[in-house]
Chain A
Amino acid sequence: METINFQNFRIEAENICVDYNGKVALYDANLRLQPGQICGLVGMNGAGKTTFFNALTGFVNISKGKIRINGESVRSAQKDQTIAYVPQNEGIDNQFPISVWDVVMMGRYGSMNIFRCPRESDVQAVKDAIERVDLTDHLSTPIGNLSGGQRKRTFLARAIAQRASILLLDEPFSGVDIRTEKLISELFIQFKNEGKTILLSTHDMIHVREFCDLVLLINKTVVAYGETSEVFTPENITTTFGGISPDFLFGPES
């Protein structure tokens, strides 16, 4: 029964805990996501959003609990290129001497041979991905010369080139221009129709209402989880943000 249940979920995290040298960053967190679902991850700075991502990608080890990706371990999800991570702009050294093409090609590394020699199919995947994020004019531009929005799109293209079925996006809308924001929103709808599962962290509550089927409110542990219409209430948001009223956070209409 239990194993059949796993098959239906892209992501299944059960009571996971993460601590860094004894300091608890996340405890008893649960999450279940199905194909085609978009879930918003909302919480304060330091509430464990990035830690949650790190646990799902296997970048940090969980000290308790269980994570299943498509019913399998995180390790085999890594091998199968199941998860793509789109970092925050701040999490990247944008002075690194590397071009848009090279960054997007990194999305293919996991499925290449040990020397990472691109095959015809890899080149095609990279071309297609760059076209989808509308950066074809910037193939050989160093990432240091891109705008914040263009850089965000570059990393999104890397995730597309990877052909992952799960996308984890850390603050996809922060520091981007209107054009990029529109393009990302359109891509989200396409991803959803392709059956991809998306988990995105954001500070912007309007985006949560706009795209997210589900919302996960966290503050070191899950405060509330469920359909956005049911869970994304002023009371829950206030609890998540340590007692600050949503009026203060997002203006009176919230």
Chain B
Amino acid sequence: MELCSFLTLDSFITDPLTHDFMRKALLMSSLVAAVCGFLSSYLTLKGWALMGDAVSHSVMPGVVVAYALGLPFSLGAFIFGVGSVALIGFIKQKSRVKEDTVIGLVFTGFFALGIVLVSKIKSNIDLHSILFGSPLGISLSDVKQTIFISLLVVILLSIFRKDLMLYCFDPRHAKTVGINVFFLHYLLLTCLSLAAVVGLQSVGIILVVAMLITPGATAYLLTDKFDNMTVISVLSAIISSLIGIYVSFWFDLETGGSIVLAQTFIFLFAFLFAPRYGIFKLKKLFVGYK
């Protein structure tokens, strides 16, 4: 039967690689996953999960407008991503409404605007691919943009790696020793917007927040060292992407959803069996009680 064709691991892995679109999808999704995974350790430690959700949803109208005007969609997404954060900050400061409420209402407002714009602007925008991602149908210009943005984010994060860690850990100390905290705050937000933009190609706007928080959360359960956390986060993100794409290829499943589900399963595994912080503490099973 059909299922027999991937009973050997070899053909399970190599068969999809004969397709050009699959090679491209695997490469691009791994790159995107690496970028989001890198950023993920900062976001989870800073407690910016909701902010990640907000920014990734808020880029929607930017993507639509940019498509309509023939601009690179990353530009539009970036403007709306940062704009939403500015608006959240402004409303929070000028009203008595609590922050999580403000975040919720701003990003849903932006997201709704995006959906309305799609229905009004009659163009060849594929709503489905924005919402759910389309790593298998990625165009050449999208590939170039993705590579450019990914490299930019990786370079920025690498240069300011330690400063950002300090900023997440103890911003007051950072300020006291003359480090520009304002700059780091906006740097992290900029990277968040950019990562959301590249991430939405893989898994779509709705699920991109998973790319930004799940790998970091998984890594957080597995280590007590920041550098290791970053490495584990990136690796788990890449592995999830590869698993997700392969599984979606063989079983004909939605790709974005498969990638995020793979991440969720890896998280659950860490949650249950992480050596120190897992529920069953795998180490004890191996080492035995002392």
Contact = CB atoms under 8 A, between A and B. Distances in A.
A109 B175 contact: no
B186 to A, nearest CB: 17
Contacts of B174: 109
A102 interface: yes
Contacts of B220: 97
B274 to A, nearest CB: 13
A111 B179 CA distance: 10
A96 B45 contact: yes
Nearest to A158: B173
A239 to B, nearest CB: 30
Interface stretch (B31-39, B164-172, B189-197): B164-172
Interface in A55-104: 57-59, 75, 78-81, 83-85, 87, 91-93, 96-99, 102
B169 A96 contact: yes
A228 to B, nearest CB: 27
A144 interface: yes
A83 B176 contact: yes
Instruction: Pick from A109, A115, A142 the residue with the most CB of B within 10 Å.
Output: A109
B254 interface: no
Contacts of B169: 92-93, 96, 98, 106
Interface stretch (B11-19, B97-105, B131-139, B221-229): B221-229
B177 interface: yes
B70 interface: no
Contacts of A93: 45, 169
B172 A54 contact: yes
Contacts of B226: 96-98, 102
Contacts of B170: 87, 92, 106
Contacts of A4: none
A116 B175 contact: no
A110 interface: yes
B96 to A, nearest CB: 10
B215 to A, nearest CB: 14
A93 B166 CA distance: 12
B176 A59 contact: yes
A10 to B, nearest CB: 15
Contact of A78 (B162, B163, B165, B176): B176
B222 to A, nearest CB: 10
Given A58-B176, A144-B224, 19 more contacts: A21-B93, A57-B175, A59-B171, A59-B175, A83-B176, A84-B176, A85-B173, A87-B172, A93-B45, A97-B229, A98-B226, A106-B173, A109-B166, A109-B174, A110-B177, A110-B178, A115-B159, A116-B163, A162-B177
Interface of A: 21, 54, 57-59, 75, 78-81, 83-85, 87, 91-93, 96-99, 102, 106-107, 109-111, 114-116, 142, 144-145, 158, 162
Interface of B: 45, 93, 159, 162-163, 165-166, 168-179, 220, 223-226, 228-229
